[in-house]
Structure formats: structure tokens, C-alpha cells
Structure 1
Amino acid sequence: MKRMLLLAGVVLSLLSFRVSGDADTIISALKDGNAEQLSQYFDNMLDVKLPEKDEIKNVGKNQAGIAVKGFFADNHIKGFEATSQREISGTMYLTGKLTGGSKSYNITLMMKNKGDKTAIMTLRIN
């Protein structure tokens, strides 16, 4: 019984490192202003809200990627500072500030684990 609990603990620890690795890669993509790398973590369908645009619900991964790439390019996004990163009931939240040109934008990502990868379910920028 002790061995099973120990094995379960080791497996959970390894899984949490994988999630952390994905979160670190997502943060790195935001810091670099790399929308293409960020979009690799989009779920197949997600909700996207960009400044001065209506929220798009259940948009496909490719269309969301195009919209976010356009926003990053138009606003010269080149930096990110995380303000909060937490997990509640298997859902991960990442909030922070994107910087571009003379403006900064608040960003919130809601993510879940899908298999062995973290998937972005919601992306809101305002």
C-alpha cells in the first residue's frame, strides 16, 4: 500500500512538472510577443476577446491564431509581466500585462490539461 501511494505521488509530481513546463513556455511566448508559439497551445475551440472587438465564442484554433497574431503585430507586442498564476479545481489561470509600443494590455488565460498538454480554453485581452 505504501508503495502504491509513493508511486502515485511520484506520478502526480511528474505531471505537475509537465504542466509547469507548458506554463513556462506559454509565458515565454507572451514575453517574446510570439503569437505563433502561443497559438500552439490553443484548444481546438476556444473563446477569444480582443480590445474593441466583440467576444468570439467557440472559435476554431486556426481562426483564433490569426486574430491573436494580427493583434500582436498591430500593437507591437514585445513583453509580458505575469501578475498571477493559479490553479483551481484543475483549471489554470494566468493573468498579466502585455506591453507593446506605448500601451499595455491586461491579459487573462484560462487553461486545462488535455492529455499530456496544457490547452488554452479562453484568452481575454483588454
Structure 2
Amino acid sequence: MKKLLIVLMVLLGGIISAFALAARSEEMLVAGPFEDVVGAIKQGDVNSLSRYLDNNVEINISGKANAYSKAQAEIILKDFFSKNQVKSFELVHQGGEASKFGIGNLSTSGGNYRLSFFLQKKGGSMVLNELRFENK
């Protein structure tokens, strides 16, 4: 009887562990806005990035800051990434709950930048409302 109880406990523990691992793996497969933005930056993909742009976006490139409409922001970002082909982007810090931010090192053909971006919850979705490209 004792052996049967031990076997049942081990099997139950294994099943619970398998379900927990499967749930966590599924959670990791589902990318959210933050992960999508990081992926778009790594690719220099403005079209993917623009899906998350807010109606008004603050962009700061090497100390030149301004607030732009979504359409203007797309043009500014396309210009930046066409002149600065992305070599790599390494996310070094991230945080936030309702709002999220990321800070990373962007290496491009035109130089290296410290890139920070901010996502804010707005109407049930996350929008990108600030991008900063600071020369390193």
C-alpha cells in the first residue's frame, strides 16, 4: 500500500510539473507588443514598428527631439534606419507593468546608439510613444 501511494505521488508530481512546463512554454511563444518592438528594432523594420506607434510620438535622435504625428514618425524612422543599417541590438534593461520601457545598445552602419523606448497602455493596447537614439 505504501509503495502504491509513493508511486501515485511521484506520478502526480510529474503530471503537475509537465503541465506547468507546458503552460510556461506556451507563454514564452506568445510575443507581445514589447517583444514585437524589440524584434522590429533588431531588424530595422519600420513597418512592424509602426503598428505600435501612438498618434503622437516623441523621437529624439542625437539630441534633436520633437513630437511627431504617426505618419511623420514613420518617415523619420525610415530615414534613420535607411542611413543606419542595423548590425545588432542588445536589450540591456527593461521594466514596467502598465507602461513598459526598454533600454539597449544599437549598433548600426552609421554608429552606435543607446536606444530607449517607452510603451504605454492606451485603450486596451500598448502604444509606442517615445524613442530616443543617443550617440555612444
- Give the shorter-chain TM-score range: 0.7 to 0.9
State the alpha-carbon separation in 2 of the partners of residues 87 and 63 from structure 1: 27
> Structure 1: any 5+ residue segments left out of the alignment?
1-16
Cα distance, 1:79 vs structure 2: 2.2
> Does 2:112 match 1:104?
yes
Partner of 2:57: 46
Q: Which has the higher contact order (CA 8 A, sep 6+)?
A: 1
The correspondence for 1:76, drawn from 55, 69, 85, is: 85
> Structure 2: any 5+ residue segments left out of the alignment?
1-27
- Corresponding residue SS for 1:111: strand
Q: With the length of structure 2 as denominator, give the TM-score of the two structures.
A: 0.70
State the alpha-carbon separation in 2 of the partners of residues 37 and 44 from structure 1: 16
- Deviations along 1:72-115, whole A, 9 cap, x unmatched? 11011242110111005x22111101111262111111111123
Please identify runs of 4+ aligned residues in structure 1 that moved more than 3 A. none
% identity of equivalent residues: 27
Could you say what the CA RMSD is over the residues aligned between the two structures, in angstroms?
2.2
Partner of 1:7: none
- Corresponding residue SS for 1:26: helix
> Does 2:35 match 1:27?
no
- Aligned length, in residue pairs: 107
Partner of 1:95: 103
